[in-house]
Amino acid sequence: MEYRRFNDKYVVRLNKGEEIIESLTKLCEENDIKLGRVTGIGATNKVKIGLFNVETKEYHSTELTGDMEITNLSGNISQMDGKVYLHLHITVCDEENKAFGGHLNYAVISATCEMIIDVIDGAVDRKYDEETGLNLIKFDDVIKEPIH
């Protein structure tokens, strides 16, 4: 992974063999990024995507392998229990241009991945919500901190 910071934005490049969630988590920890937005494109050959079933409150995941373009990677950075919490969705397409998408569990880069992180001044925490079964953003204790 290589990246450069430009004010409140990071331009990030992941290389072949790197995993998106692991790499972004490391970048956020090393740079004290507590809140932000992520967008990206690239290529993967192994991705696991999920769909949340609101009735059972469970994720159902599917692993896809083979050459795929990452046509969209988007999501946000927040925190839960003082740790980096990434909530990312991804859309990939195969060699027939069939698209697949969902919540990103992991994706291994096959060529490269280019991302932009927009850092937001502050921090937002998450808390597990019994009713939905999800870790929801909570606004009762939003912290505004300057960017380092």
Written as six digits, the tokens of 76 are 């946000």
Residue 116 lies inside a defined structural domain of this protein: yes
Return d(Cα 146, Cα 95) in angstroms, integer. Answer: 45
Cβ distance 34 to 121 under 8 Å? Answer: no
Summarised one tens digit per residue, pLDDT across range 11-36 is 999 999 999 999 999 999 999 999 99
Residue 130 lies inside a defined structural domain of this protein: yes
Q: Given this model, what pLDDT does residue 140 score?
A: 73
Range of the domain at 135: 2-143
- Number of domains the chain contains: 1
CATH code for the domain in which residue 130 is found: 3.30.1330.80
- Three-state DSSP at 148 gives coil
Residue 87 lies inside a defined structural domain of this protein: yes
Cβ distance 68 to 24 under 8 Å? Answer: no
Count of residues making up the chain: 148
Q: Given this model, what pLDDT does residue 28 score?
A: 98
- Three-state DSSP at 134 gives strand
Return d(Cα 35, Cα 85) in angstroms, integer. Answer: 9
Summarised one tens digit per residue, pLDDT across range 92-104 is 999 999 999 999 9
Task: Categorize the per-residue pLDDT at 112 as very low, low, confident or very high, splitting at 50, 70 and 90.
Answer: very high
Residue 148 lies inside a defined structural domain of this protein: no
Mean pLDDT of the region 41-57 = 96
Give the predicted TM-score (pTM) of the model: 0.90
